Amino acid sequence: MFFIFGVFKRVYAVSRPPHPPNVEDKDASPPLKIGILGAAAIAPHALVLPAKSHPEVELYAVAARDISRAENFAKKHGFKKWYGGKDGYQDLLDDPAVDMVYNPLPNGLHYEWTMKALASGKHVLLEKPSGNTAEETRRMFSLADQKGLVLLEAFHYRFHPAIQRVRAIIDNGELGAIKEVNAALTLPKGMAGNDNDIRMKYDLGGGAMMDCGCYPLSCVRYLASSNPTAVISATAVRYPRDPRIDTGTTANLTFASSKPGEEPVRSTIRCDFAVPPRWGFIPHWPELSVHAVCERGSIDVFNFVMPVIYHSITVRPDGDVPRTERVYTFEGGKGEEWWSTYRYQLEAFVDKVKGRTPQTWVSREDSIANMEWIEKIYEESGLGSRPQSTYVLPTA
């Protein structure tokens, strides 16, 4: 009963976050005004709700191709301004009041509109994957560095205490060196990836490996504390209506062992938009799992992507009693039990923009490497990289 109460309590707080108290501070800098490019379905969970409990941000403007959609979104979520029409995105970027931009546009538009946002002097929180290719990602971060702006790829799960606790257990040597690390993010058929879904559009950077596969790839790289050394094999399930798109991909990777001369660390990542139902009618639960094998035990993680709802970290030391941990806050650090991964991420982003040291960060090098290995997996599967943007940023 206590478990069920905890789940409902956290979910309620995430969906109805408390507003921060009004505290007069003459030395405080003004709140960062947020602009959103596109009234995307992910935006309320990824930024709008987290922003409502953050005292240093303000929901300011939203842009959409359809002005009425932008207006409806703005009024529903408390934005002060909205822009629309063919120039709506650029109009938002031209608004001098906007400090930071959230870019949740389709993958194939990430590069163009992030480059335009950075050129307009805006900090950018960029949805994952960062672009269609690693070269796009390099160029975006180069421009951000040139402009002195913050650019963050939104791998929100990395900011939560749960996955950081898993990394700490591996790193502290309790179970010895890591030997194998696997991760999966799969969804039942019908939950995503229908025929009208932008994630199934090749020209927009569609595909399961791009959308949900980037998570398990990022996760195994994070827990292995390194990049893979090779893609041993990669198999894609092709979308019948466009065989350039994968509805699911499985890749076998290797990482260098932390001990010289020993066998490489093995890794399997799986992603799937369309896991078929059991016996033709019973849908599968989404799978969001991690399994790590070390010299003296193993770790299993349930729900590494959205741990605020519920998660478990089961540690099985060889020859000892298994234990299960659940971690929702950092000891002595910022955060509340109901903070979602997105809320922790926003905290870090604002800290970075304000010149403070964030609790954790996804670096330029990390984002580039994740895209490089996505491309290598696609190459091995026979599908190849998604098309690189043809947008060229005008020179002054």
Q: Which residues are catalytic?
A: 128
Q: What are phi and psi of 157, to 5 degrees?
A: -60, -25
Angle, helix 107-119 to helix 134-147, in steps of 10 degrees: 20
- Longest CA pairwise span in the chain (Å): 66
Q: Rounded to the nearest 10 degrees, what angle do helices 134-147 and 364-381 cross at?
A: 170
Compute how many other C-beta atoms are within 10 angstroms of the C-beta atom of residue 142. 13
CB 368 within 8 A of CB 144: no
Q: Are strands 178-188 and 287-294 parallel, antiparallel or unpaired?
A: antiparallel
Report yes or no: 88 and 63 within 8 Å, Cβ to Cβ.
yes
In this structure, are residues 269 and 220 in contact, taking their beta carbons and an 8 Å threshold?
yes
Is the Cβ–Cβ distance between 152 and 361 less than 8 Å? yes
Give CA torsion, residues 145, 151, 152, 153, to 10 deg: -100
Residue 180's CB: how many other CB atoms inside 10 A?
17
Cβ contacts of residue 76 below 8 Å, gap of 6+?
none
For 67-82, letters b (16+ CB in 10 Å) and e give eebbbebbeebebebb
CA separation (Å) from 218 to 116, 161, 333, 368?
A: 26, 16, 24, 11
What is the spatial order of strands in the sheet that 57-64 belongs to?
Answer: 81-84, 57-64, 32-37, 100-103, 123-126, 151-153
> Closest Cα to residue 181, out of 245, 249, 267, 109?
267
